[in-house]
């Protein structure tokens, strides 16, 4: 099926269609003015760091964790190929949370070492920086797929009910909602609006070349692989071990093999972060022309 023909049937191309299509693509944001990734600082801080906490995320469930600013955290594959859906909030203010769309615009459709996870407006600042990625070798494959996606939103029970006519309560959206509610002693109805579009950790995705539809394929992650972040601000996190397992066949059901994920928190040695400071909120004055 050619989706453009379905969407716009019998629409004749204009005489200058070739010229219109030949317009030069332009990168949306000039990011050269952003602070450069200080590899030396982060790599120095990673030396001799001490693990101070860990959290096991059960299959088809979620768990919350906190990371003080200036600490590292890792998401680790421990038993089998497993995708995780990550939410991050400012630990002191849930209204400041991970902004996947802006992260995608500033970096790419898939993120890796040196990329930052940005927060929502009006703060718009780095929440975390990716400092190590054992899947950094993957790049983009012959299908155009990459790993650690900031395209997809998260599997959710509403879409599942719409498409399948079934109630399923272990979608990542529901898992994250329960984890946040438990962490903040909130009602589920109060927690749910704070759950947001995710970083799809270890998920391998892209767009089909003929129809431009979002696709997933089996994750290349294996036990021992991890992605590591540096907390630029005090963070509250929640991670769901997706019911789709490695997302190579399905999601939002109990038919796929799923595995736990491990979150590890690390404290750098004293003095290892000399010169680093937590980023301030965005400097825009906020008047919006009024």
- pLDDT tens for 89-143 read 999 999 999 999 999 999 999 999 999 999 999 999 999 999 999 999 999 999 9
Beta strands in the chain (DSSP E): 50-57, 62-67, 72-77, 84-90, 93-97, 116-118, 126-133, 146-149, 199-207, 214-217, 226-231, 235-241, 261-267
Instruction: Band the pLDDT of 273: cuts 50, 70, 90.
Output: very high
Per-residue pLDDT averaged across 12-36, rounded? Answer: 94
Closest CA to 67 of 90, 44, 43: 90
State the pLDDT at residue 4. Answer: 55
Residue 211 has pLDDT above 80, yes or no: yes
State the pLDDT at residue 250. Answer: 85
Average pLDDT, the chain: 96
Q: Do the bridges between strand 226-231 and strand 50-57 make them parallel or antiparallel, or are there none, so unpaired? A: unpaired
Per-residue pLDDT averaged across 185-196, rounded? Answer: 99
- pLDDT tens for 28-38 read 999 999 989 99
Residue 286 has pLDDT above 70, yes or no: yes
Instruction: Band the pLDDT of 15: cuts 50, 70, 90.
Output: very high
| Residue-range domain boundaries for the chain | 49-267
Instruction: Tell me if 227 sits within 8 A of 138, measured CB to CB.
Output: no
What is the percent of the chain with per-residue pLDDT over 90, rounded to a whole number? 94
What is the percent of the chain with per-residue pLDDT over 70, rounded to a whole number? 97
Lowest-pLDDT choice from 178-192, 194-208, 244-258, 263-277: 244-258
d(C-alpha 95, C-alpha 146), whole Å: 30
State the pLDDT at residue 46. Answer: 97
Global pTM reads 0.95
d(C-alpha 73, C-alpha 91), whole Å: 15
Instruction: Tell me if 231 sits within 8 A of 131, measured CB to CB.
Output: no
φ, ψ at 180 (rounded to 5°): -65, -40
State the pLDDT at residue 8. Answer: 65
- pLDDT tens for 66-92 read 999 999 999 999 999 999 999 999 999
d(C-alpha 246, C-alpha 212), whole Å: 22
State the pLDDT at residue 1. Answer: 47
């Amino acid at each position: 099926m050619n989706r453009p023909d379905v969407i716009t049937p019998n629409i004749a191309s204009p005489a200058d269609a070739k010229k219109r299509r030949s317009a030069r693509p332009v990168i949306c944001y000039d990011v050269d003015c952003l602070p450069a990734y200080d590899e030396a600082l982060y790599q120095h801080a990673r030396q001799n760091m001490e693990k101070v906490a860990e959290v096991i995320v059960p299959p088809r469930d979620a768990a919350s964790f906190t990371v003080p600013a200036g600490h590292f955290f890792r998401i680790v594959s421990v038993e089998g190929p497993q995708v995780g859906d990550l939410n991050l909030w400012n630990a002191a203010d849930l209204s400041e949370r991970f902004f996947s769309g802006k992260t995608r615009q500033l970096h790419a459709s898939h993120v890796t070492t040196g990329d930052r996870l940005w927060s929502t407006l009006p703060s718009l600042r780095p929440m975390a920086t990716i400092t190590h990625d054992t899947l950094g070798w993957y790049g983009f494959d012959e299908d155009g797929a990459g790993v650690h996606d900031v395209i997809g939103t998260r599997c959710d029970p509403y879409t599942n009910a719409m498409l399948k006519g079934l109630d399923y309560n272990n979608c990542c959206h529901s898992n994250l909602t329960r984890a946040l509610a438990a962490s903040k002693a909130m009602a589920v109805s109060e927690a749910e609006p704070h759950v947001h579009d995710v970083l799809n950790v270890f998920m391998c995705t892209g767009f089909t070349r003929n129809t431009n539809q979002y696709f997933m394929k089996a994750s290349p992650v294996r036990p021992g692989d991890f992605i590591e972040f540096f907390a630029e601000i005090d963070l509250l996190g929640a991670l769901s071990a997706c019911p789709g397992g490695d997302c190579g066949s399905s999601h939002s059901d109990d038919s796929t093999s799923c595995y736990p994920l491990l979150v590890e928190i690390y404290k750098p040695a004293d003095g290892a972060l000399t010169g680093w400071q937590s980023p301030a909120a965005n400097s825009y004055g906020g008047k919006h022309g009024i």
